[in-house]
Amino acid sequence: MNKINIAIDGPAAAGKSTIAKLVAAELHMVYVDTGAMYRAITLAHLEQPDTSFETLVNAIDLKIINDNGQKIFLNGVDVSERIRENDITLNVSYVASQKAVREKLVGIQQEMTAAKGVVMDGRDIGTHVIPDAELKIYMIASVTERAERRLLDNQQRGIEANFDDLVKDIERRDHIDMTREISPLMKAHDAIEIDTTGMTIEAVKDKIIQLARKINV
């Protein structure tokens, strides 16, 4: 299979990361979870709330290592699990809307995709980070189903959560992501939309892999 880049965009809890990992593994590509990068910056912001975002992003050391799963290191510390906690989730959309943060991370992300062979998921991958990606997917799902997925994920991580609160949080994040001034969440004009409501993980993965293989026919 020729080297291509696959961009997977969509709202919170649409299943992007789970699917992107599986697609990358089956196609022997590199997986990059940009959401984890923004979560790491959010953690740094919560630890240094009085530091400007511009100063913050220029001072930190952020590394992504793909070795038996993607690991995120912030200033030499593995924060892969820490960045999935509730305080990060509640603040990441705000942090990700900051110009200095987006400019810094988009630059890193574009460097990572230059050699192709990457499956990258996020909010602005197909529209801004790699608009020339050979395959663009826009994944959606109902708010109810996304809240159910988030609840299950929290339960598996031992994090207490209330379903109604999760629904409200997802709706809030959707609003922030879709209305922010810089690189708002939107479907690229040439993206293929997949509504994952009611679909199994395997079915979504297979559909994207089928689309990717058609490009190389």
Bridge partners, 74 (sequence order): 62, 77
Confidence band of 68 (pLDDT split at 50, 70, 90): low
Of 18, 38, 113, give the one whose Cα is nearest residue 79: 38
Report, as an integer, the average pLDDT of 157-163.
89
Its domain, for residue 129, covers 6-204
Residue 210 domain flag: no
Of 215, 140, 192, 171, give the one whose Cα is nearest residue 7: 192
Number of domains present in the structure of the chain: 1
Residue 216 domain flag: no
pLDDT in tens, 22-38: 999 999 999 999 999 99
Residue 76 has pLDDT above 80, yes or no: yes
Residue 191 domain flag: yes
Q: Average per-residue pLDDT in the chain?
A: 94
Residue 159 domain flag: yes
pLDDT in tens, 43-52: 999 999 999 9
- Residues of the chain above pLDDT 90, percent: 88
Residue 209 domain flag: no
Residue 153 domain flag: yes
Residue 34 domain flag: yes
The reported pLDDT for the residue numbered 217 is: 55
Residue 215 domain flag: no
Domain at 139, CATH number: 3.40.50.300
Residue 61 has pLDDT above 80, yes or no: yes
The pTM of the full predicted model, rounded to 2 decimals, is 0.91
Confidence band of 1 (pLDDT split at 50, 70, 90): low
Residue 87 has pLDDT above 80, yes or no: yes
